[in-house]
Amino acid sequence: MEIELIVFLVMLGVFLLGNFLFKLPVSLSMAAGAVAGALVAGEGIPLRHLFEGTFVYMDTILIISTAMVFMTVIQESGALEALNAVIVSKFYKVPAVLLVLLMFIIMFPGMITGSSTAAVLSAGAIVAPILLQMGIPAPQTGAILAIGAIMGMAAPPVNIPAMLIGGGVDMPYIGFEGPLAFLTIPGAIFTVLFIGLRYCKNLDYEKIKGGLDLEIGKKYGIKLYIPIVVIVVLMVACRMLPNLIPNLGMPLIFMIGSAVGLFTGKRFNAVKAIREAMKTTVPVLGKLMGVGMFIQIMTLTGVRGYIVINCFGFGLVVLYAAICIVMPAFGAVSSYGAASVLGVPFLLALLDTGDQVVIAAALSFICSLGDLMPPTALAGNYAAQIVGEKYSKVLRYCVIPFIVCVLFGLFTLLKSRSLGFLT
């Protein structure tokens, strides 16, 4: 047995033991696995590499942190509640359109933070009572929240698994918006209509509006949405007019939007609200640091190269089967870990089969679906808590959308060359 395989099995074994047996956080379990791998490989405890690995994804960490600040500001200012109320009051006569728009609200926090947890806990908590009042049973509502949060996590502009996969092969996070939108928007629309439309044929608006905050929109008007408009305009302008507007970077854009949002809606204690929001984000940031450390030691010990070389030896049928089965299953541990540990070698093995950006986007999409996998199942467990159900009941209604999304991801991989125009 090659030493690289032994090192990898030790790293994976220590990680799994730490996470499942000793109930350590994913970040600490990954750090322990990295140290164990270095020791077995005869590298001792390489502090320099461990330190460097911790900061490999610093750009991503800054994006998530500032995006969470922005998300907190627009939530506390009342913008999300007002948007929710406007959509329901305008479209309750067309249930299909209403459901799709509510799904986009669920996705929105995930789109700008890259976290399914943030989507469920913020927009999901606001939309869930409306879905329940529309007549959708609690388990099905939980399934809509879970899948919607994952679609938001995978959607542009911020997709962390895609960033991790791209970072592993020195591919800049550029041109992903089209492929990711192509993957996530149909998945979100299919899910919410497949699960929820049958319950919403005849909506009683008088019953629904009791759960809406109709006053905040009347009080503050259009200025509630100025922060959202600001970040969209800045994102587009930096790309479309590079000669006139310098590339501000996502963290600065989110901070500008947050500063504007402090003055456009309800007054609130910004320091306290942001502190509470960051408490939910710290575990995600810790995971990224642990993943960086894990990958750095895999590179140092030759494990990463070993995995890449062996992936080239797989036939395409076996490779695609592994992508559809193993990558989501690894999400039971961490979808970010699946992107780094498996996404990079799979991308390298498929480079000659089509457009590399489309391939990376499809792999990140399939990785993100791992957030449904028990026992971790971050999106699923939080969604189940919000609707007051056991996750096992919610998971039952996620199965068909999950299979459809995985197959759509596989279709995108197979047709990546012809879909290159999306980039």
| DSSP structure string for 128-169 | HHHHHHTT--HHHHHHHHHHHHHHHHHSSS--HHHHHHHHHT
**Position 101 in a domain:** yes
pLDDT digits (tens, 9 = 90+) for 27-69: 888 889 999 999 998 888 888 888 888 887 787 788 778 878 8
**Position 32 in a domain:** no
Tokens 């500001």 sit on residue: 73
**Position 347 in a domain:** yes
Cβ atoms of 47 and 306 within 8 Å: the answer is: no
Task: Return d(Cα 367, Cα 323) in angstroms, integer.
Answer: 9
pLDDT digits (tens, 9 = 90+) for 326-369: 888 877 767 777 887 788 888 888 888 888 999 999 999 999 99
Domain that holds residue 286: 46-422
- Tallying the residues shown for the chain, one arrives at 423
**Position 24 in a domain:** no
Structure tokens at 170: 């020195």
Q: How many CA atoms lie within 13 A of 228 on its CB side?
A: 20
- Number of domains composing the chain: 1
**Position 264 in a domain:** yes
Long-range pairs for 8-15 at CB < 8 Å and ≥24 separation?
A: 8/37, 8/298, 8/303, 8/306, 8/307, 10/36, 10/37, 10/40, 11/36, 11/37, 11/294, 11/297, 11/298, 11/303, 15/294, 15/333
**Position 31 in a domain:** no
Closest-CA residue to 364 (of 67, 60, 123): 60
**Position 23 in a domain:** no
Tokens 């918006």 sit on residue: 177
pLDDT digits (tens, 9 = 90+) for 77-115: 888 788 878 888 888 888 889 899 989 989 988 887 787
Q: How confident is the model at residue 384 (pLDDT cuts 50, 70, 90)?
A: confident
**Position 30 in a domain:** no
- Give Cβ neighbours of residue 309 (< 8 Å, ≥ 6 apart): none
Closest-CA residue to 94 (of 205, 185, 194): 205
Task: Return d(Cα 248, Cα 64) in angstroms, integer.
Answer: 16
- Give Cβ neighbours of residue 210 (< 8 Å, ≥ 6 apart): 133
**The model's pTM:** 0.80
